[in-house]
Amino acid sequence: MNNEWFVIKDLNGFINSSRILVFNNFGTKSNEYNPLSFQIDEIDRTELDSILSFEESKTIISDHIKKQKNKKTKNIRYTLNDKIFLEIIESLNDRMVSNILHSLVNKGFVETAYDEKSNDFVFWVSDEYKKKEKPETD
């Protein structure tokens, strides 16, 4: 890890780029990974906004970055290092997964319960969804 600190010159741009990066690389195989994949079409933008909103991302990112205020000019700047950036990406990814699962539960595709043994939530495909699913035929 690099201990160098970086200044965020465009906070809104950083927030958008970070959430697009997480969205575009969610579920991709390592050989498909493109670290500079910041492009997104309108359909994907709509999906991204529904599963990881700008405001939610801003809250997550604000919890990680460092805010500095110049004593003389009173200007505020935001900084981060490699470790903080990785924490941000992991946090955005975790939130996106949580929101996707929440959406699937709300739509009735997935059911959930708390498992005391594992001290975590467990998920499974809903029996109702299984009944509606039709097998593929040739």
Within 8 A by CB and 6+ apart from 112, the residues are: 101, 105, 121, 122, 123, 124
Helix (H) or strand (E) holding 131: helix 127-132
Q: What is the pTM of this model?
A: 0.79
Q: Find the domain containing 29 and state its range.
A: 6-102
The CB density around residue 100, as the number of other CB atoms within 10 Å, is 15
The answer as to whether 47 is a domain residue is yes
The answer as to whether 113 is a domain residue is no
Write out pLDDT tens, residues 25-39. Answer: 886 655 555 555 677
Work out the pLDDT band at 75, boundaries 50, 70, 90. Answer: very high
The answer as to whether 122 is a domain residue is no
The answer as to whether 119 is a domain residue is no
Instruction: Kindly state the percentage of the chain with pLDDT values over 90.
Output: 59
The answer as to whether 94 is a domain residue is yes
The answer as to whether 108 is a domain residue is no
Q: What is the reported pLDDT for 35?
A: 55
Average pLDDT across the chain, whole number? 87
Averaged over 94-115, what is the pLDDT? 90
Q: What is the total count of domains within the chain?
A: 1
The answer as to whether 92 is a domain residue is yes
Averaged over 49-66, what is the pLDDT? 97
